[in-house]
Every structure is written in C-alpha cells, then in structure tokens.
Homo-oligomer: A and B are copies of this chain.
Amino acid sequence: MKKALAFDIGGTKIYSAIVDEEGKIITDIEKFATPKTIDGIKQVLKKQISKFENEVDIIAVATAGDVNNTNNAVIGATGNLVKGYYTINFQELSNKRVFLENDANAAAWAEYRIGASKDTDISIMLTFGTGVGGGIIINNKLFKGKSGAAGGMHFKMFSDKRRKCTCGSWDCYEAYTSGTGLKRSAEESLNDPNVTTYDVIDGVKNNNNKMLEIFNMWQEYIAIGITGLVKLFDPDCIVLSGSMAQFIDIKKIEEEVNSDNITTPVSIRLAKTGNYAGMIGVSLLALEDIHNG
C-alpha cells in the first residue's frame, strides 16, 4: 500500500505523520510549534523529510492559505503565518514529489472519502475554530475555482460595516461564526473586553441566561450562513468540523435551515475524521493523484 509523509502547517502548530491510502495514520504524530521565520518552517519540514522520505511515495502538505490548482504553491497571503510564507518552494525540500492543499480543502476531502460526507456527491465542509474554513466537493471532486481560492467563507452577514474581519474586509461569515466571532459578540454584548469563548461555553453549561443568549445568536449566525450556501449549492450535506463544532446543536441548525424555503432538504452532520483531518485528506488527495497519473 502506498504511503504519504503528511504535514499540517497551521498558525501555531505543525503536525507530521505517515498516512496510508486508506487514510490511516500509521506512525506517531509529531508536533512542532510553528516557527516565526520562513527558514525555521523549512527546517522543521526538512528534518522530517530527511528522516522519512525513503519510507513514503509522496510528501503531502496541508497548509493554511490558498493552494494553486497544480498543488505546488501557496497563493496569496496567510494571516496567521510569517509574512512571505507563500514564497516557500516546497518542492525543493524533497526528492519525492511534494503535494500541497489548503487545510480546509484537505479536511473536506477526508470527510468525503472516509468521514461524514462519504455517501454524497455534493457537500460543503465548514470548520469552526479560531477562524472559519470551507471546502467544497462537487460531483466527487474538490472544487478549487479558477485559481485555487474557492471555498472562502467570507460572504457578508451585514451590509453596513459593523465588524471588521481578520481578512481586512467587513462583516464576513468568519467574523461572526468563528470562536473569535463568538468572543467578539460576547465582548460587545457584555461590554467586557476580557470575556473569552470559554466563558460563554461555561455560561451555557451553567444555564446563564445572558451567555445562552449570546451563544444562541452565534448558532443563529451559523444557520443563516448555511441557509444561503444551501440555496446556492443545493448540496446533499453540510459537514461541521473544527474545535467549536462540538458545541453546535446540529439538529437545531438542520431544522432551521430546512424550514427556510429550501427546495429539497439538506442533511447537516458532525465531522468524523477528527483533529488530523488535514493530514488525512491531503494524503488521500496526494496518493490518488499518483494513481491518476
């Protein structure tokens, strides 16, 4: 069975492991703090590659940022990584082929191949964490758009410039539905800059009315965005993932979306492939790419 040396490069951590064609992680997972320099990031990758390169068929890298359609370069800026990150020539780091994909796209593929959207043709995965990521599967293919940037969840929730998004624009879906978005809603509602996402989640557990109200509004924002996506894509299912997904009342979101004048109902599901979905998905994509020539 073919194998990939997988990486998942995020703003705070880099994960690495070997993944097989069935999406199984077959080694220990190594973790590194993401270095603050381009050279530092290269060093982490090089060290792992020199150690494992001979045991695998391809190097598979899930990364923050959009990845081009030939899967060999990051395009455009990545807010949470060092400036100029996109200038890294990943192929230089190995004698084996290096295959890149955006982390949310990779995770969506993992869900499609071995997870929650396995049995569907059209699905959208939304990942709710510090930010919000998206990956779109259309007719059994990852939908990348003309340059690789498709799946950006930065459509607007308001049209009157209320809340700045980390992307530089205003009122994006991410700015209201990420963990950070929940914190910001709490800050605004309580007029307390120190309130955290965890305070809200704790408050909900303890039936604190104010925290419940803030949390319910957050879920309402999540549903409003999904409703728009469902009318645009008419998908089989929407998969919710990321560190915040466990707190979402998925049945409630599904009911709300399907009650909003939808032509045929959509299924909303919790992701199944876990924290390493990025490594699993990019490995499956990379190994399938070998097969497809």
Q: Does A21 sit within 8 A of B, measured CB to CB?
A: no
Report the separation of the CA atoms of residues A146 and B176 in the bound assembly, to the nearest whole angstrom. 28
B156, A227: Cβ atoms under 8 Å? Answer: yes
A263, B149: Cβ atoms under 8 Å? Answer: yes
Q: Does A228 sit within 8 A of B, measured CB to CB?
A: yes
Q: Does A14 sit within 8 A of B, measured CB to CB?
A: no
A156, B157: Cβ atoms under 8 Å? Answer: yes
Report the separation of the CA atoms of residues A226 and B246 in the bound assembly, to the nearest whole angstrom. 32
A150, B234: Cβ atoms under 8 Å? Answer: yes
Report the separation of the CA atoms of residues A220 and B261 in the bound assembly, to the nearest whole angstrom. 26
Q: Does A260 sit within 8 A of B, measured CB to CB?
A: yes
Q: Does A121 sit within 8 A of B, measured CB to CB?
A: yes
Report the separation of the CA atoms of residues A144 and B264 in the bound assembly, to the nearest whole angstrom. 13
- Taking CB atoms and an 8 Å cut-off, the chain A residues in 189-236 that contact chain B are 220-221, 224-225, 227-229, 231-236
Q: How far is the CB of A222 from chain B (nearest CB, A)?
A: 11
Contacts known (A159-B176, A232-B232, A234-B144); A75 close to B264, Cβ less than 8 A:
yes
Contact of A260 among B158, B169, B229 (CB under 8 A): B169
Q: Which residues of B contact A136 (CB under 8 A)?
A: 232
Chain copies in complex: 2
Q: Does A10 sit within 8 A of B, measured CB to CB?
A: no
Q: Which residues of B contact A150 (CB under 8 A)?
A: 232-234
Q: Does A248 sit within 8 A of B, measured CB to CB?
A: no
Report the separation of the CA atoms of residues A220 and B170 in the bound assembly, to the nearest whole angstrom. 13
A145, B228: Cβ atoms under 8 Å? Answer: no
Q: Does A179 sit within 8 A of B, measured CB to CB?
A: no
Q: Which residues of B contact A157 (CB under 8 A)?
A: 156, 158-159
Q: Which residues of B contact A232 (CB under 8 A)?
A: 134, 136, 150-153, 155, 229, 232
Interface residues as binary, A249-265 with B (CB distance below 8 Å gives 1, 0 otherwise)? 00000000000111110
- Taking CB atoms and an 8 Å cut-off, the chain A residues in 103-149 that contact chain B are 121-122, 134, 136, 138, 143-149
Q: Which partner residue on chain B sits nearest A138 by CB separation? A: B138
Q: Does A76 sit within 8 A of B, measured CB to CB?
A: yes
Q: Does A66 sit within 8 A of B, measured CB to CB?
A: yes
Q: How far is the CB of A116 from chain B (nearest CB, A)?
A: 16
Q: Which partner residue on chain B sits nearest A220 by CB separation? A: B159
Output the residue of A149, A225, A234 with the most chain B CB within 10 A. Answer: A234
Q: Which residues of B contact A234 (CB under 8 A)?
A: 144-150, 152
Q: How far is the CB of A181 from chain B (nearest CB, A)?
A: 12
Interface residues as binary, A84-108 with B (CB distance below 8 Å gives 1, 0 otherwise)? 0000000000000000000000000
What are 7 of the A-B contact pairs (CB < 8 Å)? A149-B231, A149-B264, A150-B233, A152-B234, A154-B228, A156-B228, A169-B261
